[in-house]
A = this chain, B = another copy of it.
Amino acid sequence: MASVDHNSDDSGSGRTAGRRRDATATRDAILHSAVVSFTRAGYDGVGVREIAQGAGVTAMLVNRYFGSKEQLFAEAVDVSFAPRTVVTGDAGTLSRDIALSLAARTAPESDHLNPFLLMLRSASNPRAAEIMRAATERHVGQDLRELLPGADAAERAELILALITGVWMMRRVIGTAALADADPGSLTRRIEAMLRVLVESAGNAEDRADI
């Protein structure tokens, strides 16, 4: 969101008491509501009426400003994927940084608005999947790739994304017991060890084949 101007608070639950007739504010409110709704229920699990209600407007304005639900989704994915959620910048501490952040954010009590949740809950729709494929390679995939030293950076970066995605899936979307109740320290150490296999395996994959 950000920018533009305004006095009233629109970012929370719409703009019930806010000033009316402001195109950019209405557009931002719809987009923010879309990110929240798509993350919670996925592309097919939420209707434009619900998104509009979350922004304090009627469903008609969603298509007015974004053309279609699919185009709104594409913009919402871009907003959700834009901030680098786990990558902190240092290749040396990358494995630990990702593991710590992942264990904390997938904890049952956390309700962080996360791009991986959006991805998992929208993956069943083929068009949504294609939109997310493009966004993934454009945002976090590229960031990770450039951070990894050695050969096969793209393959290793996407395996990192696969592990992160899988942990989000089993721990938070499916919610299996052992992961949901796992000790944060133990979980962090195990994820970190798995990530190190990818981060440190410069050049030849066989270097790590006989650990």
Which residues of B are found within 8 Å of A82, using beta-carbon distances? none
Report how far A168 CA is from B41 CA in the complex, Å. Answer: 21
In the complex, which range does the number of interface residues on chain A fall in? 35 or more
* A175 CB contacts on chain B under 8 angstroms: 129, 133
- Nearest-neighbour CB distance to chain B for A129, whole angstroms, equals 6
- Is A1 engaged at the interface, CB distance under 8 Å to the other chain? no
Q: Does A79 sit within 8 A of B, measured CB to CB? A: no
A residues 65-91 touching B (CB-CB < 8 Å): none
**Which B residues are in CB contact (< 8 Å) with A163?**
162-163, 166, 194
Taking A122-B124, A174-B123, A179-B158 as contacts, is the C-beta distance between A209 and B189 under 8 angstroms? yes
Q: Which residues of B contact A166 (CB under 8 A)?
A: 161-167, 169
In the bound complex, how far is the Cα of B192 from the Cα of A198, in angstroms?
Answer: 11
Q: Give complex CA distance A122, B182 in Å.
A: 25
Please measure, in the bound complex, the distance between the C-alpha atom of A205 and the C-alpha atom of B209, giving whole angstroms. Answer: 19
A132 at interface by CB-CB < 8 Å: yes
User: Which residues of chain A (113-159) have a CB below 8 Å from chain B?
Assistant: 119-125, 129, 132-133, 136-137, 141, 152, 154-159
How far, in angstroms, from A205 to B163 measured CA to CA in the complex?
Answer: 18
Name the one of B41, B44, B165, B198 contacting A45, with C-beta atoms under 8 angstroms.
Answer: B44
